[in-house]
Structure 1
Amino acid sequence: MLSRLARCVSNAGVCRAARQVVKGHGKHRLPAVPPPAAIASPRGHQTLATAAAASLPTVGAPPGVRHARTLDRERLLQLEWEDGTCSLYPFTWLRDNCQCPHCTLQSAQARSLLLADLDVHTGVDRVQLTENNKVTITWPDQHSSEFDPEWLKKRCFSPEARQARQEELFLNEREYWDSSLRIPTASFEEVLHDDKAALAWLLALRRIGIVYLKGAPVEQGQVARLSERIGYLRLTFYGHTWQVEDKPMANNVAYTSGKLSLHTDYPALHYPPGVQFLHCLAQAREGGESEVVDGFHMAEVLRRNDPEAFRTLSSLRIDFTDTGTDYCDFCVQSKNHIINMDNEGRVVRINYNNATRDSVLDMPLDKVQPFYSSLKAYVELMTQPENVVTYKMEPGDLVTFDNWRLLHGRKSYMSDATCRRHLEGAYLDWDEVMSRLRILRRAVHGEN
């Protein structure tokens, strides 16, 4: 089972913003090294070990410093590396990040130096290269700082180095996909017990947005077991875990047998859960198929095809609400953009649930019709058959997906006493998931 997951992880490429829609024709697959704006779907056959390594940044030999000198007027340290490139470091930043035991609590890797004690206009008394190629700086007050060249190289202020470091830390690049995606699949038990399998799972979850795990025991508690592989579950008003069943007097539209339109979970919270687990314990005899769509991809297509609609959905904040009783009684209210972007204009979160979109619409009167038209354009785009992946879970299947990126839904189903559809769900936050990914990456590949 891990081979399919491995193939998807190994083919992880750079997809900052989709510029085209590729419609599925038969068994469409992922290019091995997709160009920017490509859409992802699987191709190739590789082992898990090779695949996991291929999706990680290449770590070369530590660089050596050929020459170091101060630029006193600019208050910069200039390092010339053995490969002929140069890096510049502000004096203030170097003093602020002194790694000595007086300035850094080594056991916590945390700064001890108080900002109140930092001279933000400091100069440098002298700079030396030690015999083991460390950079030593003596400050005007005769305090001494020593820096490892590899540590400095990773923190170079050039745009290229900063971008590489951010990608290494956060894995922001995504692979976009349409209905031709074959969902990457792995073994539930192998993910639980093998670090390489767990790392491949989380890399694919981050890059592609959805991973299918097969072979989980058909009993409650498995989403909690899986969460322990990462850290801990996100507690919400529906509990640590929750049971998706057809319930009388349902306090959520998911607890009915009707069709669920494509949505993200919990936009009624200002910080919705980042990752969702759903474990199938029993499936309906008829209906109940799951649907997912790549919300980031659809947002980029909207940005290209209808820039005004994209601007509307990314600039207006919409009210969401959720009221009821479950783990405890609740009355939550939020204001979220349908499409969230970061400072670089990159789509980072989709907030959309038609069931909990509030009747309160806090916007000027002349913005109401443009908002509805823009939202309709986005929903119509994401519901086109060539953009939706449909699958049917069977008992023992456990799907994990990015709740900030994917919109998921479900077809209606027939419920009866002898075969009641039952899924158990749980949430985690991306902070915990990325933390475990970095720890696993260090354990598997020995990275600092």
Structure 2
Amino acid sequence: MNKYSEELALVKSYSCSEVFVTVVKMWNAVAKILLRTKVHQDYSRTLLLVQKGRSILTRPPSSRNCWQHIAGAVQPFNVSTSIQKVEALDVNNFVRIHWEDGSKSLYPAVWLRDNCQCPDCFLHSAKARKLLLEDLDVNIGVKEVILTDRQKVYITWPDKHTSEFEAEWLKKRCFSEQARAEMQEELFLPECKYWGSDLQLPNMSFEEVLHSDESAYKWLSTLKKVGIVLLTGAVTRQGELVKLGKRIGFLRLTFYGPTWQVEDKRDANNVAYTSGKLSFHTDYPVLQHPPGIQFLHCIKQAATGGESEVVDGFHVSNKLKEQNPQAFQILSSTLVDFTDVGVDYCDFTMQSKQRIIDVDYRGQVVRINYNNATRDTVFDIPAEKVQPFYAALKEFVDLLNSPEHKFTYKMKPGDIVTFDNWRLLHGRRSYQSGTEISRHLEGAYADWDVVMSRLRLLRKIVQNGN
């Protein structure tokens, strides 16, 4: 008798119930045997009926089918998402799941009913909920719970409606702190790499980004993490940014058009359309929802001057918070007026109120809104708070301009810089202007919603290998 025959004999020597209980512990041995043994697979199921907090084993596999049952259970699924037992708890209307890995999860009955996946409650073609909230009993309890194949949970509700949930679906939506954090990371990719003057500017081929899903995924994931990526090798003509917009979905239309030309213009309607120095700023804080991403395509570059400068606004904001918490508090709580009036794609008169530093419910910086050129003369705060605000803003700007924080580079014709307009502040050194146009950039915007949508889709394609 060889090694694997001995293992097979050992497994068969157990009683049916013993084998069934110890299936996970013997997984490796069974898997090896199955690779070498043809086993007929029946379709009998073991149901664990759970009612009023008690688990009852029904339809146990017969001795004849015991080995077949185990063989049928060896399928390509994650062992950790296999369910050992479920129970309905009368207290607070919860369902508790005991996982094979020893962990437990609590699911509120009202949440389970609200997220029923049946065709009456959920439109699968749109992946959208059909169940109306006004039809939901927020105090609902569970009539009975049935577990099948350790992979599906069936719930019968008091009104006899039934719901079915996959183990993997439930596991990913577990309400534990760790599971919630993992799901949020998967959905929003919050990883952020801060930098200063030591930035190693990421660069990629423009053509590869357009034609390779893997390259496009790398571009957008790096853009999300680092905040800036330089694309190289674009043709030096207008219209290349439209291609980039189509790659992600579409560009953001603003009052300056779907794309716009950054040149030294006579009677300029924007300070960017001059040859002078541009201080660090984010674009369009005058909009209630500023563009999340900016693209700048270098078509022609000045021989001297015109260098680009960028700074990580999130990193500097955190430095300010450490250095002067009061200044950070002022800039993250004071609403500042912004204005922009003119004619371009159409005529416009815009007003907004923004905090220089936007923070979320956790106190983490999520957006910088600062453009000194469009900061309004109107300031809607009490007079005694004005000077402290200016002092806080000046300290922030001084940190932005610190040599240890800013990164300087010069674009070449064919370069396209793509960066996070909510995180990075950008500027430009002055350049010599002449009778002919000496420097020409084409610009465009995109929203983070569009970029994140494409990033998630590309991640799925790359991970699935198709």
TM superposition score normalised by structure 2: 0.82
Partner of 1:84: 102
| CA apart distance, 1:164 | 1.3
Unaligned stretches of 5+ residues in structure 1: 1-58
Is residue 366 of structure 1 aligned with residue 377 of structure 2? no
- Match of residue 433, structure 2, among 415, 418, 428: 415
Query: How many angstroms apart in 2 are the aligned matches of 1:377 and 1:171?
Result: 31
- Match of residue 157, structure 2, among 117, 139, 145: 139
Query: How many angstroms apart in 2 are the aligned matches of 1:147 and 1:305?
Result: 51
Query: How many angstroms apart in 2 are the aligned matches of 1:331 and 1:138?
Result: 58
Q: Summarize deviations over 1:236-289 as a string: whole Å, max 9, x none.
A: 000000000000000000000000000000001111000000000000111000
Partner of 1:388: 406
Is residue 248 of structure 1 aligned with residue 272 of structure 2? no
Query: How many angstroms apart in 2 are the aligned matches of 1:318 and 1:352?
Result: 9
Is residue 163 of structure 1 aligned with residue 181 of structure 2? yes
Is residue 210 of structure 1 aligned with residue 228 of structure 2? yes
Asked if 2 retains the 8 angstrom alpha-carbon contact of 1:287 and 1:414, the reply is yes
Is residue 400 of structure 1 aligned with residue 418 of structure 2? yes
Partner of 1:154: 172
Q: Summarize deviations over 1:301-357 as a string: whole Å, max 9, x none.
A: 101110000000000000000000000000100000000011111110000000000
Query: How many angstroms apart in 1 are the aligned matches of 2:174 and 2:238?
Result: 49
**What is the SS of the residue equivalent to 1:399?**
strand
Is residue 280 of structure 1 aligned with residue 298 of structure 2? yes
**What is the SS of the residue equivalent to 2:151?**
coil
Asked if 2 retains the 8 angstrom alpha-carbon contact of 1:285 and 1:419, the reply is no
- Match of residue 71, structure 1, among 89, 95, 106: 89
**What is the SS of the residue equivalent to 2:248?**
coil
| CA apart distance, 1:419 | 5.3
Partner of 2:40: none
Greater Rg by CA: 2
Query: How many angstroms apart in 1 are the aligned matches of 2:109 and 2:379?
Result: 50
Which AA in structure 1 matches 2:225? R
Is residue 293 of structure 1 aligned with residue 311 of structure 2? yes
Query: How many angstroms apart in 2 are the aligned matches of 1:61 and 1:321?
Result: 58
Q: May I ask how many residue pairs the two structures share in their alignment?
A: 389
Which AA in structure 1 matches 2:166? D
Q: Summarize deviations over 1:23-52 as a string: whole Å, max 9, x none.
A: xxxxxxxxxxxxxxxxxxxxxxxxxxxxxx
Is residue 105 of structure 1 aligned with residue 126 of structure 2? no
Query: How many angstroms apart in 2 are the aligned matches of 1:311 and 1:149?
Result: 45
Is residue 336 of structure 1 aligned with residue 376 of structure 2? no
Asked if 2 retains the 8 angstrom alpha-carbon contact of 1:283 and 1:419, the reply is no
Q: Between the two proteins, what is the percent identity of the paired residues?
A: 62
Asked if 1 retains the 8 angstrom alpha-carbon contact of 2:277 and 2:428, the reply is yes
Asked if 2 retains the 8 angstrom alpha-carbon contact of 1:62 and 1:149, the reply is no
| CA apart distance, 1:417 | 3.8
| CA apart distance, 1:131 | 2.2
Query: How many angstroms apart in 1 are the aligned matches of 2:192 and 2:170?
Result: 28
Partner of 1:11: none
Which AA in structure 1 matches 2:159? D
Query: How many angstroms apart in 1 are the aligned matches of 2:436 and 2:348?
Result: 33
Asked if 2 retains the 8 angstrom alpha-carbon contact of 1:185 and 1:213, the reply is yes
Is residue 310 of structure 1 aligned with residue 351 of structure 2? no
- Match of residue 282, structure 2, among 264, 269, 273: 264
| CA apart distance, 1:60 | 6.5
Asked if 1 retains the 8 angstrom alpha-carbon contact of 2:263 and 2:437, the reply is no
Query: How many angstroms apart in 2 are the aligned matches of 1:223 and 1:246?
Result: 20
Asked if 1 retains the 8 angstrom alpha-carbon contact of 2:109 and 2:140, the reply is yes
Query: How many angstroms apart in 1 are the aligned matches of 2:284 and 2:432?
Result: 26
Partner of 1:233: 251
Unaligned stretches of 5+ residues in structure 2: 1-76
In angstroms, what is the RMSD of aligned CA positions? 1.3
| CA apart distance, 1:416 | 2.2
| CA apart distance, 1:446 | 2.8
Partner of 2:207: 189
